[in-house]
Amino acid sequence: ARQDVSTGFKIITIQGIRDDLMYTETIGIGNGSTTTFTKVLVHRPINPGSITITNSTGDIVLRDNGIGELVLVNGTGVSGWVGYDNGTVSLTFTTAPLDGDKINITYGSGYGRVIAYLDIKVGLMAGSPPISMDSVLVEISDGYTDKTLSYNASATNFSDLDASHFGVEIARDMPPSNWERDRVITAGDIIRIYINTSAVGLYLEPQTHVMVKLIPKHGVPNLVEFTTPSTYTTKYMELW
């Protein structure tokens, strides 16, 4: 890996993230009397944190908490658990679902072949003046596609991003706290820059050489180059 050392940005880490491979199945259909529904899902193991369960009307919504519990985010009167390794899902209702009420589960099992997102943790070099993110550009390339992205202030997660923009989330806002009002980072602040590499058009398969350059309006651009791992085995990967 190689990084320019200059006044301005300091890239701390770069994390690559793969998409969950998503599937949908029906756990059961209400008949007005059954209160417990159990099913072994076709695809397993299940990715922790990927599950959403709904009924036909949408007034019941559960998600898994990453440790095997199914937690209500909408509705009442139902609880459950999931076995991530064996693919078993079980729900218990205090009142039986109505006749014909279909209970569906959407879940992830396995991950996509390529890195779909980059999470870049960034601070300022010692002695750097404050930098407004509104005027920052991010250039990114996989050797075949080269894109220059501008800041979208309303994008705080990957789903908000498109082929032309990057998003930012504040990780640490040191006094004076300028982020919420001005979108300015100062000494000691840490931000996370989000890039939807799939939307941008990059194909980050194993052993891809990647270039990321942060370009402030004033000052010297900050460049990082790295090669993705030879094999992807997890959803999250430290790339730099």
User: Between β-strands 131-132 and 137-141, what pairing exists: parallel, antiparallel or unpaired?
Assistant: unpaired
Per-residue pLDDT of 196-229, as tens digits, reads 999 999 999 999 999 999 999 887 889 999 999 9
Task: Specify whether the CB–CB gap between 213 and 133 falls below 8 A.
Answer: no
- Cross-strand pairs, 191: 122, 170
98 CB-near residues (< 8 Å, 6+ apart): 30, 32
Model-level pTM?
0.86
The answer to whether residue 114 scores a pLDDT higher than 50 is yes
Q: Is 182 helix (H, G, I), strand (E, B) or coil?
A: helix
> Which residue's entry shows tokens 């000691």?
188
Which of the 8 DSSP states describes residue 133?
G
Per-residue pLDDT of 55-109, as tens digits, reads 998 899 999 999 999 999 999 999 999 999 999 999 999 999 999 999 999 999 9
